[in-house]
Amino acid sequence: MAATTTSRAPATPLHNRINPKPWPSNQRVISNFNPMIPRSERRRTLAVLATLRRDNRDDESHNAIEGKNKNSIELQSLLEDFPYELNSKDSNSLPRPLTSTYFSNSVSDGSRLRVAYQGVHGAYSETAAEKAYPNCEAVPCGQFDTAFEAVERWLVDRAVLPIENSLGGSIHRNYDLVLRHRLHIVGEVKLAIRHCLLANHGIKVQDLKRVLSHPQALAQCENTLTRLGMVREAVDDTAGAAKFVAFHKLNDTGAVASSTAARIYGMNILAEDIQDDSDNVTRFLVLAREPIIPGTDRLFKTSIVFSLEEGPGMLFKALAVFAMRDINLTKLCSFLGNFCCLFLLIESRPLQKQALQMLDDNNNGFPKRFPYLFYVDFEASMADQKAQNALGHLKEIATFLRVLGSYPAGITMS
């Protein structure tokens, strides 16, 4: 498929509104990567939202390159144009417990579950959304914040976001987002990630001077890209990188993305499995407005965040509430903060001002001076008495405690 240029902007989701993601200093940022779609184009009625369905998704990806994408509706602009009153007259807007729908792919009115992800068609996050809900309608969002807002404002039913990777460790910004928003973790997907080096047809590896991709993907392919002597440039997502290179018919630039992205954007795969470690798994969280009712019929995990008073042995006491009940902690840590040197299964994060503000507004007496938050995942359901007891015990020790979700443990999928 040849990419053709048009005067109209491609259907790339909009740029980051809140915080740019961090990336290594040797990576330049393409700041005008996602041109703004004219506002007149973005002003759509709510009815148009229905056209977000991906019935003609393959056509969509083709058309996206040609700038004819019907689904060029930006979730971001929908959020701006129709805040809050969305669905207010719709009986479906009433909160529903998720137990009845969690393992099906449709909401109770018969329509498909809509799952927001960050990136464009072909992103790994889209694959994760489809693994979680095989028949879902995956909805691309420019940024993670947009995906969260889309759930909060009833534009979609779920959001999927990458939270940690076996090579790159935790994605701290996404933990902060989970904390700042009031969504619940209702599932996890572990996806084996296999990166490819993509280029336009007729281009050889030797022709490439630079390569575009998501910062995580670039980091995961560090050795290969260094060996090839390529300049790395970070962009919002892997599929967006492929789309950009195809759309602009670049001859000296490649993209690190999936074979799916190669197919969608008509690119050639120059090399497969270019990640530094073949065992490259990314864990994605599934978030919803309401929690699921935890069960005991299968292995469940529970994610919590808490803070502690400063003092000798405080973290030891906090972790003991799990150890004394034989509850396994599963959160793997690759970022060694102050306390992490001692406990590799727990991750301490300096408390950001914004997060602190959010917590302050909602929790009287939150200790402002305490500089760390701890995220822990443990292997037990909140329906399990020993988990209840452990958290009851932790509450006596912690100055702040929030259960982010109790959900079925995921298996690694390829």
In the complex, the residues that contact ligand PPY under the rule CB under 6 A are 119, 123-125, 162, 193, 214, 216-217, 237-239, 282
Residue 263 beta carbon to ligand PPY: minimum distance, rounded to whole angstroms: 14
Angle at 308 between CA 307 and CA 313, to 5 degrees: 140
Cα dihedral sign, 62-68-72-77: positive
Tell me if 226 sits within 8 A of 181, measured CB to CB.
Answer: no
CB of 238 to ligand PPY, least distance (A): 4
Measured from the CB of residue 108, what is the shortest distance to ligand PPY in angstroms?
Answer: 29
AA letter at 108: S
Query: Which is nearer to ligand PPY, 76 or 238 (by Cβ)?
Result: 238
Which residue in this structure is represented by tokens 């994610």? Answer: 303
Please report the DSSP string for 295-310 in residue order: -SSS-EEEEEEEEE-S
CB-neighbour burial class of residue 214 (10 A; exposed 0-12, middle 13-18, buried 19+): buried
10 vs 291, beta carbon nearer ligand PPY: 10
Report residue 303 CA to chain centroid gap.
Answer: 16
Rg (alpha carbons) of the chain, rounded to whole number: 22
Dist. CA 77–CA 92, nearest whole Å: 22
Nearest-approach distance from CB 124 to ligand PPY, in angstroms: 4
Q: How far is the CB of 341 from ligand PPY (least distance, A)?
A: 27
Catalytic residue among 12, 224, 282, 302: 282
| Nearer CB in complex with ligand PPY: 258/303 | 258
- Are 19 and 127 contacting, i.e. CB atoms less than 8 angstroms apart? no
The single-letter code of the amino acid at 218 is: L
CA 23, distance to chain mean position in Å, is 16
Under 8 Å CB-to-CB from 36, ≥6 apart: which residues? Answer: 9, 14
In the bound complex, what is the minimum distance in angstroms from residue 281's beta carbon to ligand PPY? 9
Long-range pairs of 394-398 with CB within 8 A, sequence gap ≥ 24: 394/304, 394/306, 394/318, 394/321, 397/308, 397/314, 397/317, 397/318, 397/321, 398/306, 398/307, 398/308, 398/318
282 is catalytic: yes
Question: What is the spatial distance between Cα 116 and Cα 110, in angstroms, rounded to a whole number?
Answer: 18
Instruction: State the DSSP code for 189.
Output: E
Residue number, 53 or 194, with CB nearest to ligand PPY: 194
Active-site entry in 284, 300, 339, 374? 284
Name which of 142 and 291 has its Cβ closer to ligand PPY: 142
Contact (Cβ atoms closer than 8 angstroms) between residue 302 and residue 375: no
Which residue's CB is nearer to ligand PPY, number 262 or number 387?
Answer: 262
Q: In whole angstroms, what is the distance from residue 147 CA to residue 125 CA?
A: 11
Q: How far is the CB of 199 from ligand PPY (least distance, A)?
A: 18
Nearer to ligand PPY, 243 or 384 (CB): 243
CB of 126 to ligand PPY, least distance (A): 7
Query: Closer CB to ligand PPY, residue 72 or residue 220?
Result: 220
Which positions are catalytic?
282, 284
